[in-house]
Structure 1
Amino acid sequence: MRTGMPVTAVFDIGKTNKKLLVFDEYYNVVREQVIRFDEIEDDEGFPCEDLEALGRWVQEQFGLLKKDPGLQLKAVNFSTYGASVVYLDKDGLPVGYLYNYLKPYPAELQNAFEQERGDAAAFSVATCTPLMGHLNAGMQLYWMKKKKQDLLQKVAHVLHFPQYLSYLLTGKMMTEMTHLGCHSGMWDFRKNRYHTWLAEEGLIEMLAPITPGSHAVNVKNEGTGELIAIGAGLHDSSAAVIPYLQRFPDPFMILSTGTWSISLNPFNQTLPNATELSKGSLSYLSDTGLPVKASMLFAGNDHDLQVKRIAAYFNSSPGFYQSVMPDRELFEGLLSGLPAAGISEEVAAITSATTPARFRSRDLQQYRNASEAYHQLVADIVTQQKTSSAMVLGDGGPRQLFVDGGFCKNELYMQLLSAAFPQMKVCAATMVQGTALGAALALHHHWNRKPLAAALVQLMHYSG
């Protein structure tokens, strides 16, 4: 038996960066590889993932890990971005392309889908997601049937993206809960089963058996004879929740920030109503198949656009905001405008997940400098975030709010957010490779008998 370091590996696949992370038994990263692949064009000339190059890389790296004399590979898992499916023929080979979820969706096709369903609002309530074209994996299947009939005739199986990568190593076809429950438009949350439209369209036979996110298939290392647990793979946002659940027993809400700010309450299984859905609320499925109420806000994108406007107006460098620290006088003045202090419905209103903050319509002439304008921008974003997050807090709500991603490093944002949620302990959370760590932890019980370290997630408390 090999005496190398016992490790687990995760292939963490983002839109831009593809990572291979190797963790030891204490979940320290002992090896990391980052690679990018040039996009190719699909059959209509739209950019898409080079699935062949990616699959070849995954298989090559898996082979190298198995042969490495310094490692004892115990488990492998995957995390990928959502809203992506792979079509396979009867021999298990890809058909067509991994079509990009950003690809424009034919308006007439979405209208036809809504008319066939009879009540678009009721459909969204059942599937806990608005209809968003290719951002719904199910709508991709519908598009394939209606627009790519020649290709569809060759399709025997449909796998979600991470399950395809798992299939490359195991030969087993699975449908994992978190991708199925990621605004796919395929799952009826209220009946806890596939929505009937998939059977009506003759598509359900192509889907693989459903499995929880903790499931693994054992494959043999040809060189050593040892078994390696290969996970089914997870949706990236859902994987990122797992370290928090492992670390903190008391209820909490996560605010994951980046281009999108996503509020997740793993302890709220309430399903969103039609009004909440229209304002950016939805439900995910956890790796155990339970609903997780969430809300989305395009806050990071809004922030970046308005920072550019401020920088241009005040002739400041594009990165001026990175050195802006909370000004106590300005800070105190802004507190009166936060929701916790009584904000008007007009200011806090959100009509959709992409509704920009009020700052977009503010006249920059009223500010003395870029710092003052930036204080107002962040206050407006936090005001809107309060309204978005309120949809997922639930009755009684958790008393802890963990913020990760870009905004958790923004001192002004964190202090204003803490003031907006005075009933909660607001903390900036940091962890090493959170998405990959979550995917690794999902398979912990398959190979690792050591207790989890308390330092997996580190917190910094803020008070407004």
Structure 2
Amino acid sequence: MAQRVTAIFDIGKTNKKFFLFDKNYNEVYREYTSFKEIVDEDGYATENLEALQNWLKEVFYRLLNNKDYIIKAINFSTYGASLVHLDETGKVLTPLYNYTKEIDTHLVDSFYKKYGPELDLTRITGSPKSGLLNSGMQLYWLKKTKPEIFKKIKYSLHLPQYLSYVFTGIPISDYTSIGCHTSLWNYEKSDYHSWVYNEEIHKILPPLIATETSINMNYNGKRIKVGVGIHDSSSALIPYVRSVKKPFILVSTGTWSIALNPFSDAPLTTEETAAGCINYMRINGKPVKSSRLFLGNEYKLQVKELSKKFNVDIDYHKTVEFNYSTYLEIIKEFQYCFKWKSFSDKNMPTKTKYSYNTFEYAYHQLMIELVQLQVKSIKKIANTHDINRLYVDGGFTDNDLYIKLLSHNLREMKLRTTKASLGSALGAAIAISDTKLNSKFLRKNYALKKHVPFIIK
């Protein structure tokens, strides 16, 4: 008997994934692919949008005709800060510009001179000055540097909404894409920022609708709900928000460690903005206070140096477990030893000092210092006594030192780890569903695990 399923395209910068989930959100089918990048007019590497679009349609129609499944809904989760510009006939006008592409700093400075000061604009929009990683800046850059193309734009769609458009032909905007590091949204007024109106950017942004909206379509005589798409960081938050009833902090770890507080209704303060806090947005338009730490990147660089220094295999660090005696020795006369490569911190020395004779000791020192930074990042966005639940997902959940040290340093919080490799895809499936989640959802679907702080003897 054919299964009724929800189809999800989960599009990352490298891997493009397709999933089918049953009514209980169990994965019943998956398919991965990747495409060789193309280049834009400046020779800068970017997404092959045509190949992506062709793959979307090929996979969808193949599974639509598969007699083992009945697709009842489809949705899309993708990376952010990426826009597709369409003319009045629906033709794509430009490459999908890569948000890592550098642009003229004079142009950026002129924007903040006209609409700043920078700190105020960052605070009100919840978006930092970050070049094309800020999609509002992409629109401003396109208008100022390619005016002839800009004049032809009928609609500019963020990538999740463009994928929805591929299947519906209906251009829309959604809160999660508009509100995540774009400088487009005024969080104090719950409207586009005045600069968007001044530059007439609002005229090319399609109607803004709730992320949970779906559009009924008919494919080959089959009725299917098509979602409007969702920004992947906001999507990954949905299973937690829907199943956990008490306030919590989610720390999503990987190359970036992103701490998310979905329970702060107050706009960012000047102090929080100066400390590097930004806003993401929930699917209902409410802000998610966030702080970012380049944790995974720094960890990778430092471990490489340590492995070389102590002549051990590059993967040896994965075998090192927390040692209580080693920890006590290090903190007895604690000194900061590591000079960071990815960011700066007031406590770091001018040069890395290797104070120990073994990799294990140096590795413990590294993790103690990195976790201190992680704790600061969490405390930037929340009073950890008021919000005492902490969820950690991503790569560092397997790091024994990271988890034990984090639990120890945040003893006032109840720490839980989850395995959420399907986080953003599952979030997109939940967003288009009317199903209610209960408190057992994370335990069943996310391998929820409790952690207790170690005891100092």
Task: Give the shorter-chain TM-score range.
Answer: over 0.9
Which of the residues 260, 263, 282 maps onto 2:259? 263
Which residue number corresponds to residue 291 of structure 2?
295
Which residue number corresponds to residue 91 of structure 2?
93
CA distance in 2, matches of 1:118, 1:109: 13
Alpha-carbon contact 1:267-1:292 (below 8 Å) kept: yes
Which residue number corresponds to residue 161 of structure 1?
159
Alpha-carbon contact 1:313-1:364 (below 8 Å) kept: no
The equivalences for 1:359-378 within 5 A come to 361=350, 363-378=352-367
- Describe the superposition over 1:275-322 as per-residue Cα deviations: whole angstroms up to 9, x where unpaired: 322332111110011111111111111111111111111111111110
Which residue number corresponds to residue 331 of structure 1?
327
The equivalences for 1:352-431 within 5 A come to 354-355=343-344, 361=350, 363-394=352-383, 396-431=385-420
Which residue number corresponds to residue 423 of structure 2?
434
Alpha-carbon contact 2:261-2:290 (below 8 Å) kept: yes
The alpha-carbon distance between structure 1 residues 231 and 357, as it changes in their structure 2 partners (threshold 3 A), is farther
The letter of the residue matching 1:387 is K
Unaligned runs of 5+ in 2: none
CA distance in 1, matches of 2:174, 2:37: 26
What is the CA-CA distance between 1:393 and the residue it aligns to?
1.4
- Describe the superposition over 1:130-180 as per-residue Cα deviations: whole angstroms up to 9, x where unpaired: 111101000000110111122212211100100000000011111111111
What is the CA-CA distance between 1:272 and the residue it aligns to?
2.0
Number of residues paired by the alignment? 451
The alpha-carbon distance between structure 1 residues 336 and 114, as it changes in their structure 2 partners (threshold 3 A), is farther
TM-score w.r.t. length of structure 1: 0.92
**Most deviating of 453-462 and 65-74:** 453-462
What is the CA-CA distance between 1:354 and the residue it aligns to?
3.7
Which residue number corresponds to residue 63 of structure 1?
61
Unaligned runs of 5+ in 1: 339-343
The letter of the residue matching 2:210 is P
The letter of the residue matching 1:459 is L
What is the CA-CA distance between 1:198 and the residue it aligns to?
1.2
Alpha-carbon contact 1:364-1:373 (below 8 Å) kept: no
SS at match of 1:458: coil
SS at match of 2:76: strand
SS at match of 1:293: strand
Which residue number corresponds to residue 51 of structure 1?
49
The equivalences for 1:23-422 within 5 A come to 23-222=21-220, 225-334=221-330, 354-355=343-344, 361=350, 363-394=352-383, 396-422=385-411
SS at match of 1:414: helix
CA distance in 1, matches of 2:245, 2:333: 34
SS at match of 2:251: strand
CA distance in 1, matches of 2:237, 2:332: 33
The alpha-carbon distance between structure 1 residues 451 and 244, as it changes in their structure 2 partners (threshold 3 A), is closer
The alpha-carbon distance between structure 1 residues 68 and 281, as it changes in their structure 2 partners (threshold 3 A), is same
- Describe the superposition over 1:246-292 as per-residue Cα deviations: whole angstroms up to 9, x where unpaired: 22211111010001100011112232223322332111110011111
The alpha-carbon distance between structure 1 residues 335 and 226, as it changes in their structure 2 partners (threshold 3 A), is farther
Alpha-carbon contact 1:324-1:371 (below 8 Å) kept: yes
What is the CA-CA distance between 1:364 and the residue it aligns to?
4.1
The alpha-carbon distance between structure 1 residues 391 and 238, as it changes in their structure 2 partners (threshold 3 A), is same
CA distance in 2, matches of 1:100, 1:217: 29
What is the CA-CA distance between 1:408 and the residue it aligns to?
0.7
Alpha-carbon contact 1:298-1:356 (below 8 Å) kept: no
Alpha-carbon contact 1:5-1:71 (below 8 Å) kept: yes
Alpha-carbon contact 2:84-2:156 (below 8 Å) kept: yes
What is the CA-CA distance between 1:330 and the residue it aligns to?
1.3
Alpha-carbon contact 1:335-1:416 (below 8 Å) kept: no
Query: Is 1:12 the counterpart of 2:10 in the alignment?
Result: yes
The alpha-carbon distance between structure 1 residues 304 and 381, as it changes in their structure 2 partners (threshold 3 A), is same
Alpha-carbon contact 1:347-1:358 (below 8 Å) kept: no
SS at match of 2:71: strand
Alpha-carbon contact 1:74-1:227 (below 8 Å) kept: yes
TM-score w.r.t. length of structure 2: 0.93
Identity of aligned residues (%): 37
Alpha-carbon contact 1:310-1:370 (below 8 Å) kept: yes
The alpha-carbon distance between structure 1 residues 432 and 268, as it changes in their structure 2 partners (threshold 3 A), is same
SS at match of 1:430: coil
- Describe the superposition over 1:335-355 as per-residue Cα deviations: whole angstroms up to 9, x where unpaired: 6799xxxxx9x999x9xx943
**Most deviating of 99-108 and 62-71:** 62-71
The letter of the residue matching 2:112 is E
The letter of the residue matching 1:305 is L
The letter of the residue matching 1:441 is I
CA distance in 1, matches of 2:289, 2:15: 28
SS at match of 1:365: coil
CA distance in 1, matches of 2:349, 2:26: 43
SS at match of 1:444: coil
**Most deviating of 37-46 and 449-458:** 449-458
CA distance in 2, matches of 1:323, 1:456: 27
What is the CA-CA distance between 1:242 and the residue it aligns to?
0.8
Alpha-carbon contact 1:26-1:450 (below 8 Å) kept: no
What is the CA-CA distance between 1:105 and the residue it aligns to?
2.0
